[in-house]
């Protein structure tokens, strides 16, 4: 016996995908460097120190006097001796003028003239203490530093970026199909 049949035949659909890969390139050019460092400015001002030593008094103490000092002392001593001599002569004249009051003025004057002054001796320091005068003025140093900043004129470069996008093509490789048949059908 023949049984009626329905025959169904199907074909699956198939998709076809074609891809084209994207292309990308990136280049980074080097930066243009322009750095400058001006040198620092240094100024030094110096006031020299000053040392003075005055040993004039010490040299005078050991009888090493300058000629002008010797002349000045000799002039003063001569003037002093002149005044003392005038006073002595005036006094001796007054004694002789008053000879009638008694005494022996001529013998007294002769004795005073023949005797010198009494000499004294004592310990002394040559040169005397503090005769050398020392004066010191310290020097000064003033240092000024001016720091100069860095001059930076560096220019960065932008990257070179090239991009070509990829493509995707989708198409049907095989369309779906459905085929229906009827077999052994009697009407």
DSSP per position, 120-142: ------SSPTT-SEEEEE--EEE
Q: Which residue has the higher pLDDT, 64 or 163?
A: 163
> What is the distance between the alpha carbons of residues 125 and 61, in angstroms, rounded to a whole number?
9
Lowest mean pLDDT: which of 34-43, 123-132, 169-178? Answer: 123-132
Per residue in 18-63, pLDDT tens?
999 999 999 999 999 999 999 999 999 999 999 999 988 888 887 7
Per residue in 73-99, pLDDT tens?
999 999 999 999 999 899 888 888 888
- pLDDT, residue 184, reads 81
Q: How far is CA 81 from the centre of its chain?
A: 66
Per residue in 92-127, pLDDT tens?
888 888 888 878 888 888 888 888 777 777 776 777
pTM for this structure? 0.39
pLDDT over 70 (residue 1): no
- pLDDT, residue 116, reads 76
Residue 168, Cβ neighbours under 10 Å: how many? Answer: 8
Which of 64-68, 78-82, 130-134 shows the highest mean pLDDT? 78-82
- pLDDT, residue 87, reads 92
- pLDDT, residue 5, reads 85
- pLDDT, residue 187, reads 62
Q: How far is CA 75 from the centre of its chain?
A: 59
> What is the distance between the alpha carbons of residues 111 and 107, in angstroms, rounded to a whole number?
6
Asked if 55 and 131 touch (Cβ cutoff 8 Å), the reply is yes
- pLDDT, residue 129, reads 81
- pLDDT, residue 96, reads 86
DSSP letter assigned to residue 102: S
Confidence band, pLDDT 50/70/90 cuts, at residue 12: very high
- pLDDT, residue 113, reads 83
């Amino acid at each position: 016996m023949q049984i009626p049949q329905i025959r169904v035949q199907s074909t699956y659909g198939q998709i076809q995908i074609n891809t084209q890969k994207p292309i990308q390139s990136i280049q980074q050019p080097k930066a243009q460097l322009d750095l400058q460092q001006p040198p620092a400015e240094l100024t030094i001002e110096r006031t020299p120190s000053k040392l003075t030593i005055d040993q004039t008094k010490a040299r005078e103490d050991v009888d090493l006097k300058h000629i002008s000092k010797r002349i000045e002392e000799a002039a003063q001593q001569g003037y002093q001796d002149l005044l003392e001599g005038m006073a002595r002569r005036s006094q001796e004249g007054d004694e002789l003028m008053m000879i009638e009051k008694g005494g022996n003025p001529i013998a007294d004057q002769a004795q005073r003239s023949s005797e010198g002054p009494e000499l004294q001796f004592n310990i002394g320091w040559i040169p005397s203490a503090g005769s050398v005068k020392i004066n010191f003025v310290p020097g000064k140093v003033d240092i000024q530093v001016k720091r100069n900043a860095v001059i930076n004129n560096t220019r960065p470069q932008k990257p070179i970026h090239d991009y070509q996008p990829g493509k995707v093509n989708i198409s049907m490789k095989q369309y779906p199909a459905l085929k229906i048949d009827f077999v052994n059908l009697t009407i």
